[in-house]
């Protein structure tokens, strides 16, 4: 039995977060009433002409540069011709022979996969990027949800003309997990750049895959199958796993494969044939005569490059080096730019990066997850959380009291100091004040005193507990220990 | 007032002297044009309300003694491939029979802002595809000089409307000669500026890299007046040029513009070869002698790639057309086939486009689709682009030695209705002298230069290098004025 190897390339579409569309001034806002963000240009009315949105070009350049691409000084928009009701011009304006950027790469973690809680540095694998190009999105066909949906379809053209970049990888991916990692990294980078919200459910991140299998060690590629409808990270992985198994099974049965496009069917958990090569579209690409060539000067490129933010990879590295975080923690805290920014602010305010990491990852993210919220919607500001952690470090409150304070902070608005003052939660670090409590507890527990003096060290915990109870947890634990030892011995 | 031979300057004079009002003139022109239209079918629709509203604005300005804009009260006809807000725009096609645009073309807006009064939309070949205005879904246009003959095309309605005094000036569109050739057939002036000189925003696209909006007038000066108003960068058209617009009229008015001393005029041998009607050749040759009489230095030049231009032009224009016309699918606007009710999506497209487009449009869509197809692109479209560059190079080399180039506009005067409809290739050859300038993107003008024995008008074409409209206009007007004396 031959050993098989999968060969995968991904085509990822990312919607750019420009305020207006790529060829007109209409808003790109998602979720508005159908056909309200439209004009002659994005409706494809007779006589209307496109004008390229420079902000879209810059965002595409940012993405391309972050993906280590070479920006072409001269590129062209091109028409991709096909008929569909949600494509108002009868062609998509894309790029073909001369794309905006080429020859990039992306490093993904090797076979061990992502999110490993290990201290060892990840094995990095380089996935080549063929190209990054600009194009406009089509509108949306709505086939159900209407009383007459059995007979009619509806079209919403609000999305028509939303700027997209298409990022095409080389066939360098070898497993569904690697594809998953690649897409994860790609999304992370786009989020860090702020060029897209990468929301797969709303379609601002879309992925198609080209998959083939070949005997391990073979030079030639097998028959390429395109798999579409991969609307989530999970579906991507599931569809690729299914498709690779299907292809291997077919070949091991002595069958052959034909080049085709297949759709992932979530309900049936399998890919289904959509169209074979003979029915493949001939898109009849040709240079878009309504737009001038896209010229990117060296100065422009440098200006965009200079404005690039620190990317997740670099930031993770820095978190480890600068804050002494474990790889796993650095990974969690750099999942998005707002989270990483939040963490850095907490760390800065409290001066204890490790404690800050524990609080952000544990208590804060836990609370946010439970509330179904994103870091940007946190009711606790990074400043306040930082102060809370600092108060623990300074001994003003205990870690246990801090949890209570944090619970109250979630309600929003109040600083930890305000809560501590209002609730009387400040730690008692005054030896004379505590000494009185210690004396009372010892006096009230003659039996335990006897046990302790007989060498039973565990009883110390009983005394600590009694003192905490008496002070409602406010006693400084270190001081309590010190005083107990002094009075008991 | 007398409509025959009415020009922009006379309209202005009449308004200023109080001889007429803009409203009275608009009413008179509309009444006359509606009557004439029964004979020549130059107009598809009249726009009395829009005309009257604009005329009243002008009359208000006259009354208040406000300075009048350059085209105040000038009756203007607009080819029906140029969109007009609220005014049906059909492109002479069934598929847009009911289409009312929600916006104005930039050229239309600029002309109205300059005071022009739009009296209606003119007939033409469907989507500007044709050389005779017979490919209209709404019956052909007839040449006012001889109603049994075509007015040329595709802007035949605009040329005929100017020739028949149904308006003072008109807008046409020129992709391969669609302004210049009908101007010559109808005996009026027709002008195509440099590609990018006039915004295409609102010109329904036929072949985007070749399409132009341009004016018709009874005189060179009137055509130049429209150009001056329309020309200039438009942020809505990325291919419109940011080149400053010279004051064309002021330059024409300079005393030294009346002759052509020191002017170098090139005559390309290739444009006087086989296929040229002898009478047309004679008239153009004697016109060239008139230019020499005005002091021009006449020079023999060569444009060696001329022979390849027709094939190159039709490949490019059909390729672009096949894509530009894809949007007419009956989904969002226009006429959807009534059969669609019981049809699948693809069948509905077929029914709508099959019923909505005429035969010439279908022919071009099919040929254009073919030349862009996988496996044929290199052999046709890519090669045509290379030839296009060679044709353009011919011109830039020629313009090193001459200021303007003079040629016939068309191989023959106006032909008879139906004469070429069965033979597309012969029809395509009537563009042979005009398409080279279209491919090169240089400006060209057609000026009347006499008539044949049967009294049919003949035109002379004057070409200039990119953005050298002033030289082209100067030669054209000097020639025109020399004939008037």
Task: Tell me if the bond preceding B154 is cis, omega within 30° of 0.
Answer: yes
Contact of A305 with chain B, judged by CB distance below 8 Å, is answered with no
Question: Are residues A434 and A428 in contact, defined by beta-carbon separation less than 8 angstroms?
Answer: yes
Closest chain B residue by Cα to residue A52: B238
Kindly list the distances between the CA atom of residue B470 and the CA atoms of B162, B249, B283, B401, in Å, as whole numbers in the listed order: 23, 9, 24, 17
Please tell me the distance from the alpha carbon of residue A244 to that of residue A5, in angstroms, as a whole number: 9
Which fold is adopted by the domain B256-301+390-484?
Amidase signature (AS) enzymes (3.90.1300)
- Select from B7, B88, B17 the least CA-distant residue to B47: B88
Which of chain B's residues have a Cβ under 8 Å away from the Cβ of A46? 83, 89, 91, 96, 99, 101, 204-205, 327
Please tell me the distance from the alpha carbon of residue B303 to that of residue B391, in angstroms, as a whole number: 8
Question: Are residues B356 and B349 in contact, defined by beta-carbon separation less than 8 angstroms?
Answer: no
End-to-end CA distance of chain A: 76
Q: Residue A47 and residue B205: Cβ atoms within 8 Å? A: yes
ipTM of the complex: 0.95
pLDDT, tens only, A298-347 = 999 999 999 998 888 889 899 999 999 998 889 889 888 889 999 999 99
**pLDDT at residue B105 is higher than 60:** yes
At CA B104, angle to CA B141 and CA B330, rounded to 5?
70
Tell me, what's the pLDDT at B485?
47
- State how far residue A181 is from chain B, nearest Cα, in angstroms: 35
Rg for chain B (alpha carbons), in Å? Answer: 21
Please tell me the distance from the alpha carbon of residue B267 to that of residue A366, in angstroms, as a whole number: 85
Q: Residue A45 and residue B319: Cβ atoms within 8 Å? A: no
Identified catalytic residue from B131, B136, B154, B446: B154
Please tell me the distance from the alpha carbon of residue B198 to that of residue B223, in angstroms, as a whole number: 13
Q: Residue B83 and residue A47: Cβ atoms within 8 Å? A: yes
B319 → closest Cβ in A44, A50, A286: A286
- State how far residue B285 is from chain A, nearest Cα, in angstroms: 37
Closest chain A residue by Cα to residue B200: A47
- Which backbone phi and psi does A21 adopt, to 5 degrees? -70, 175
Identified catalytic residue from B47, B131, B132, B178: B178
Pick among A26, A35, A47 to test the B interface (most B CBs inside 10 A)? A47
State the number of CA atoms in the 13 A half-sphere of A446 facing the CB. Answer: 0
A286 → closest Cβ in B82, B332, B372: B372
Chain B 332-361, CB below 8 Å of chain A: which residues? 332-333, 345-346, 349
Tell me, what's the pLDDT at A173?
94
Tell me, what's the pLDDT at A401?
81
What tokens does B446 get? 């057609």
Please tell me the distance from the alpha carbon of residue B316 to that of residue B313, in angstroms, as a whole number: 5
Contact of A293 with chain B, judged by CB distance below 8 Å, is answered with no
- Select from A388, A375, A366, A372 the least CA-distant residue to A334: A375
Q: Residue A47 and residue B377: Cβ atoms within 8 Å? A: no
Please tell me the distance from the alpha carbon of residue B233 to that of residue B155, in angstroms, as a whole number: 24
**pLDDT at residue B321 is higher than 70:** yes
Q: Which helix (H) or strand (E) element contains residue B77? A: strand B75-79
Please tell me the distance from the alpha carbon of residue B453 to that of residue B457, in angstroms, as a whole number: 10
Contact of A280 with chain B, judged by CB distance below 8 Å, is answered with no
Tell me, what's the pLDDT at A453?
82
Q: What contacts A385, CB < 8 A, 6 or more positions away?
A: A346, A349, A356, A359, A360, A364, A406, A409
Pick among A20, A23, A35, A46 to test the B interface (most B CBs inside 10 A)? A46
Q: What is the mean pLDDT of residues B288-296?
A: 96
What tokens does A198 get? 């990468």
**3.40.640.10, 3.40.50.1110, 3.40.50.620, 3.90.1300.10: CATH of B8-253:** 3.90.1300.10
DSSP string, B421-452: TT-HHHHHHTTTTTHHHHHHT--EEEEEEEE-
Q: Residue A289 and residue B329: Cβ atoms within 8 Å? A: no
pTM of the model: 0.87
Give the SS3 label for residue A268: coil
- State how far residue A82 is from chain B, nearest Cα, in angstroms: 8
What tokens does A310 get? 């620190």
Question: Are residues A327 and A114 in contact, defined by beta-carbon separation less than 8 angstroms?
Answer: no
Task: Provide the 10 A C-beta neighbour count for residue B207.
Answer: 26
Chain B 188-227, CB below 8 Å of chain A: which residues? 200-205, 207-209
Please tell me the distance from the alpha carbon of residue A55 to that of residue B348, in angstroms, as a whole number: 39
At CA A267, angle to CA A266 and CA A271, rounded to 5?
50
Closest chain A residue by Cα to residue B378: A286
Question: What average pLDDT does the structure give for chain B?
Answer: 96
Please tell me the distance from the alpha carbon of residue B171 to that of residue B188, in angstroms, as a whole number: 13
- By 3-state DSSP, what share of chain A in percent is helix, strand and coil, each rounded to 5? 40, 20, 40
Please tell me the distance from the alpha carbon of residue B126 to that of residue B91, in angstroms, as a whole number: 6
Kindly list the distances between the CA atom of residue A223 and the CA atoms of A215, A238, A247, B141, in Å, as whole numbers in the listed order: 12, 20, 9, 58
Task: Provide the 10 A C-beta neighbour count for residue B167.
Answer: 30
What tokens does A468 get? 């905490």
Contact of A47 with chain B, judged by CB distance below 8 Å, is answered with yes
At CA A401, angle to CA A396 and CA A402, rounded to 5?
75
Q: Residue B323 and residue A284: Cβ atoms within 8 Å? A: yes
**Which regions of chain A carry the CATH code 1.10.10.410?**
431-488
- State how far residue B203 is from chain A, nearest Cα, in angstroms: 5
Please tell me the distance from the alpha carbon of residue B45 to that of residue B61, in angstroms, as a whole number: 28
**Strand B404-408 with B264-268, pairing:** parallel
Q: What contacts A338, CB < 8 A, 6 or more positions away?
A: A374, A375, A376
Closest chain A residue by Cα to residue B203: A47
Tell me whether residue B362 is one of the annotated catalytic residues: no
pLDDT, tens only, B381-395 = 999 999 999 999 999
Which of chain A's residues have a Cβ under 8 Å away from the Cβ of B235? 51
Fold agreement (B8-253, B256-301+390-484): yes
Please tell me the distance from the alpha carbon of residue B212 to that of residue B197, in angstroms, as a whole number: 9
Contact of A83 with chain B, judged by CB distance below 8 Å, is answered with yes
Give the SS3 label for residue B186: helix
Question: Are residues B14 and B25 in contact, defined by beta-carbon separation less than 8 angstroms?
Answer: yes
- State how far residue A383 is from chain B, nearest Cα, in angstroms: 47
Please, what's the largest Cα pairwise distance for chain B? 71
Which of chain B's residues have a Cβ under 8 Å away from the Cβ of A289? 207-209, 239, 320
Q: In what order do the strands lie in the sheet with A78-81?
A: A91-94, A78-81, A286-287
Q: Residue B327 and residue A282: Cβ atoms within 8 Å? A: no
Identified catalytic residue from B79, B121, B218, B420: B79
Tell me, what's the pLDDT at B484?
62
Q: What contacts A20, CB < 8 A, 6 or more positions away?
A: A26, A27, A28, A53, A55
Chain A 428-447, CB below 8 Å of chain B: which residues? none
Q: Residue A51 and residue B238: Cβ atoms within 8 Å? A: yes
Pick among B92, B104, B109, B323 to test the A interface (most A CBs inside 10 A)? B323
Which of chain B's residues have a Cβ under 8 Å away from the Cβ of A282? 373-374
pLDDT, tens only, B209-220 = 999 999 999 999
Which of chain A's residues have a Cβ under 8 Å away from the Cβ of B349? 83
- Select from B84, B86, B96 the least CA-distant residue to B201: B84
Q: What is the mean pLDDT of residues B139-156?
A: 97
Kindly list the distances between the CA atom of residue A409 and the CA atoms of A73, A339, A383, in Å, as whole numbers in the listed order: 53, 18, 12
What tokens does B470 get? 């002033």
Tell me, what's the pLDDT at A468?
82
Please tell me the distance from the alpha carbon of residue A453 to that of residue A440, in angstroms, as a whole number: 18
CATH of domain A431-488: 1.10.10.410
A290 → closest Cβ in B83, B101, B239: B239
Q: Map out the domains of chain B as residue ranges.
A: 8-253, 256-301+390-484, 311-379
Q: Residue B102 and residue A40: Cβ atoms within 8 Å? A: yes
Tell me, what's the pLDDT at A117?
45
Q: Sign (positive/negative) of CA torsion A172, A177, A179, A184?
A: negative
Mean pLDDT by 10 residues, chain A (489 residues): 86 96 95 95 98 97 96 97 95 96 89 46 82 96 88 93 97 94 92 92 92 91 90 91 92 88 87 78 94 96 93 89 90 88 92 91 89 87 91 81 86 83 75 80 83 82 83 79 79
Please tell me the distance from the alpha carbon of residue B410 to that of residue B407, in angstroms, as a whole number: 9
Tell me whether residue B430 is one of the annotated catalytic residues: no
Q: Residue B332 and residue A88: Cβ atoms within 8 Å? A: yes
Query: Which position has the higher pLDDT, B103 or A459?
Result: B103
Please tell me the distance from the alpha carbon of residue B150 to that of residue B143, in angstroms, as a whole number: 5
Tell me whether residue B79 is one of the annotated catalytic residues: yes
Torsion (CA) B99, B104, B107, B110 in degrees, nearest 10: 150
**Strand B444-451 with B457-464, pairing:** antiparallel
Chain A 139-158, CB below 8 Å of chain B: which residues? 155
Tell me, what's the pLDDT at A278?
67
Contact of A91 with chain B, judged by CB distance below 8 Å, is answered with yes
Q: What contacts B263, CB < 8 A, 6 or more positions away?
A: B294, B295, B296, B297, B403, B404, B471, B474, B475
Angle between helices A298-306 and A54-66 (to 10 degrees): 70
Task: Tell the residue number behind the tokens 């246990």, with chain if given.
Answer: A400
Task: Tell the residue number behind the tokens 């969690």, with chain if given.
Answer: A332
Give the SS3 label for residue B259: coil
- Select from A228, A235, A232, A225 the least CA-distant residue to A266: A235
- State how far residue B192 is from chain A, nearest Cα, in angstroms: 18
Kindly list the distances between the CA atom of residue A484 and the CA atoms of A429, A459, B358, in Å, as whole numbers in the listed order: 14, 11, 103
Contact of B449 with chain A, judged by CB distance below 8 Å, is answered with no
- State how far residue B330 is from chain A, nearest Cα, in angstroms: 9
Please tell me the distance from the alpha carbon of residue A146 to that of residue B288, in angstroms, as a whole number: 71
- State how far residue B225 is from chain A, nearest Cα, in angstroms: 24
């Amino acid at each position: 039995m031959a050993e098989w190897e999968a060969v995968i390339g991904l085509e990822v579409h990312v919607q750019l977060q420009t305020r207006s569309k790529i060829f007109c001034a209409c808003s790109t806002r998602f979720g508005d009433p159908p056909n309200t963000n439209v004009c002659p240009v994005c409706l494809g009315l007779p006589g209307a002409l496109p004008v390229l949105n420079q902000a879209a070009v810059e965002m595409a350049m940012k993405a391309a540069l972050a993906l280590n691409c070479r920006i072409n000084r001269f590129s062209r928009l091109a028409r991709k011709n096909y008929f569909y009701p949600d494509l108002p011009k009868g062609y998509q304006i894309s790029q073909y022979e001369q794309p905006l950027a080429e020859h990039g790469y992306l490093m993904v973690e090797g076979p061990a996969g992502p999110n490993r809680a290990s201290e060892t540095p990840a094995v990095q694998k380089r996935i080549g990027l063929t190209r990054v190009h600009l194009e406009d999105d089509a509108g949306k066909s709505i086939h159900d949800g209407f009383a007459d949906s059995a007979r009619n379809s509806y079209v919403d053209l609000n999305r028509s003309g939303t700027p997209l970049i298409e990022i095409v990888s080389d066939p360098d991916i070898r497993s569904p997990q690697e594809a998953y990692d690649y897409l994860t990294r790609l999304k992370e980078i786009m989020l860090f750049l702020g060029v897209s919200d990468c929301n797969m459910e709303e379609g601002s991140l879309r992925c198609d895959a080209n998959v083939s299998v070949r005997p391990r060690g073979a030079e030639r590629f097998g028959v390429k199958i395109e798999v579409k409808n991969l609307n989530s990270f999970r579906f991507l992985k599931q569809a690729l796993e299914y498709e690779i198994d299907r292809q291997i099974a077919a070949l091991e049965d002595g069958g052959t494969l034909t080049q085709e496009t297949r759709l992932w069917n979530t309900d049936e958990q399998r890919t289904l044939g959509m169209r074979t090569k003979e029915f493949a579209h001939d898109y009849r690409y040709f240079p878009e005569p309504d737009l001038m060539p896209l010229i990117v000067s060296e100065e422009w490129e440098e200006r965009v490059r200079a404005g690039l933010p620190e990317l997740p990879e670099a930031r993770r590295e820095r978190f480890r080096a600068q804050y002494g975080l474990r790889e796993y923690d650095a990974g969690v805290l750099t999942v998005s730019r707002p989270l990483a920014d939040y963490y850095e602010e907490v760390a800065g305010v409290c001066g204890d990066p490790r404690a800050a990491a524990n609080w952000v990852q544990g208590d804060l993210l836990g609370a946010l997850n439970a509330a179904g919220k994103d870091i940007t919607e946190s009711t606790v500001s990074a400043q306040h959380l930082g102060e809370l952690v600092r108060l623990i470090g300074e001994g003003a409150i205990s870690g246990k009291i801090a949890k209570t304070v944090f619970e109250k902070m979630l309600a929003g608005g109040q600083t930890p100091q305000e809560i501590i003052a209002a609730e009387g939660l400040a730690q008692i670090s005054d030896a004379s004040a505590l000494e009185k409590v210690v004396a009372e507890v010892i006096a009230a527990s003659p039996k335990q005193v006897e046990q302790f003096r007989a060498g039973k060290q565990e009883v110390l915990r009983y005394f600590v507990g009694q003192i905490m109870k008496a002070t409602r947890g406010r006693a400084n634990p270190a001081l309590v220990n010190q005083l107990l030892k002094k009075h008991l011995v | 007032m007398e409509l025959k031979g009415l020009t922009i300057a006379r309209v202005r004079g009449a308004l200023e002297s109080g001889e007429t009002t803009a409203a009275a003139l608009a009413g008179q022109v509309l009444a006359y044009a509606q009557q004439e239209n029964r004979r020549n079918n130059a107009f598809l629709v009249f726009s009395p309300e829009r005309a009257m509203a604009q005329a009243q604005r002008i009359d208000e300005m006259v009354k208040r003694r406000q300075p009048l804009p350059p085209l105040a009260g000038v009756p203007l006809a607009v080819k029906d491939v140029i969109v007009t807000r609220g005014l049906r725009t059909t492109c002479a096609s069934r598929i847009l029979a009911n289409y009312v645009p929600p916006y104005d073309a930039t050229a239309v807006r600029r002309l109205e802002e300059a005071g022009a009064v739009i009296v209606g939309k003119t007939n033409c070949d469907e989507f500007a595809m044709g050389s005779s205005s017979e490919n209209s879904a709404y019956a052909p246009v007839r040449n006012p000089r001889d109603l049994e003959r075509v007015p040329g095309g595709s802007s035949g309605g605009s040329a005929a409307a100017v020739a028949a005094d149904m308006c003072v000036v008109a807008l046409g569109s020129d992709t391969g000669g669609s302004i210049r050739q009908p101007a010559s057939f109808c005996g009026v002036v027709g002008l195509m500026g440099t590609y990018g000189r006039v915004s295409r925003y609102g010109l329904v696209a036929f072949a985007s890299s070749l399409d132009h909006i341009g004016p018709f007038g009874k005189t060179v000066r009137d055509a130049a007046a429209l150009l001056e108003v329309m020309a200039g960068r438009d942020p809505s058209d990325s291919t419109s040029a940011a080149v400053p617009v010279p004051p064309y009229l002021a330059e024409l008015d300079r005393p030294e513009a009346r002759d052509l001393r020191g002017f170098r005029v090139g005559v390309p041998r290739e444009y006087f070869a086989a296929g040229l009607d002898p009478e047309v050749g004679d008239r153009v040759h004697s016109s060239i002698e008139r230019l020499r009489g005005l002091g021009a230095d006449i020079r023999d030049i060569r444009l060696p790639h001329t022979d390849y231009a027709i094939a190159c032009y039709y490949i490019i224009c059909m390729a672009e057309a096949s894509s530009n016309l894809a949007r007419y699918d009956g989904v969002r606007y226009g006429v959807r086939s009534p059969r669609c009710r019981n049809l699948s999506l693809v069948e509905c497209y077929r029914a709508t486009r099959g019923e909505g487009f005429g035969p010439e449009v279908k022919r071009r869509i099919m040929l254009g689709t073919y030349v862009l197809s996988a496996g044929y692109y290199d052999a046709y479209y890519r090669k045509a682009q290379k030839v296009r560059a060679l044709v353009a190079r011919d011109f830039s080399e020629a313009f090193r030695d001459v200021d303007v180039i003079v040629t016939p506009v068309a191989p023959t005067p106006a032909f008879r209705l139906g004469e070429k409809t069965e033979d597309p290739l012969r029809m395509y050859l009537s563009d042979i002298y005009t398409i080279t300038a279209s491919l090169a993107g240089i400006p060209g003008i057609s000026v009347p230069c006499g008539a044949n024995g049967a009294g049919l008008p003949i035109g002379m074409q004057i070409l200039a290098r990119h953005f050298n409209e002033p030289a082209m206009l100067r030669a054209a007007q000097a020639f025109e004025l020399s004939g008037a004396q």
